[in-house]
A = this chain, B = another copy of it.
Amino acid sequence: MKQIEPLEQVSASAVLDSLVMAGRMVEQRVEEALQPHGLSAAKLSALEVLAGAEEPMALGVLSHRLHCVRSNITQLVDRLEAEKLVRRVPDAEDRRSVRAAITQEGRNRYEAGCRALREVQSQMLRLLPRSEQETLARIVGRLLAGGK
């Protein structure tokens, strides 16, 4: 007879691997949904913050809001500016600072991107009954809370 195997270790890492794969799958689907609109998740996030702001926002502030490093924003805004979705405006009060202002074209693209995003999101959520969505949110929330 075959010995019972100690599956804990292997199945344990499988949970985390699946979690990572699922996260990537969601990201992938979002990127695909945004692509026809000439947007990416990174660009949409930046536009979302800028669209919700009252005035042009300093790049340092934007980097905090997007949980990334300053130099990342420099390049992201470079790309957004090249597509005329955002404009760099000087800050009169602090001449070290550069602010990003969303353009009308930026707002339009942002709205279109949002619709595509909501579409693909509800499509994915249809894969899970409401109760499992709540369970997933709870478990993943605990994981995030525990993660340093």
Which residues of A approach B to under 8 Å, CB–CB? 9, 11-16, 18-27, 29, 117-118, 121-122, 124-125, 127-128, 132-133, 135-137, 139-144, 146-147
Task: State the main secondary structure of chain A at its contact with B.
Answer: helix
The answer to whether A12 and B127 touch across the interface, beta carbons within 8 angstroms, is no
List the B side residues contacting A122 at CB < 8 Å: 9, 12
Copies in the complex: 2
22 pairs from A and B in contact (CB 8 Å cutoff): A12-B122, A13-B117, A13-B121, A14-B137, A15-B136, A15-B140, A16-B26, A16-B121, A16-B124, A16-B125, A18-B141, A19-B23, A20-B27, A22-B147, A25-B143, A26-B147, A124-B146, A124-B147, A127-B142, A127-B146, A132-B139, A136-B140
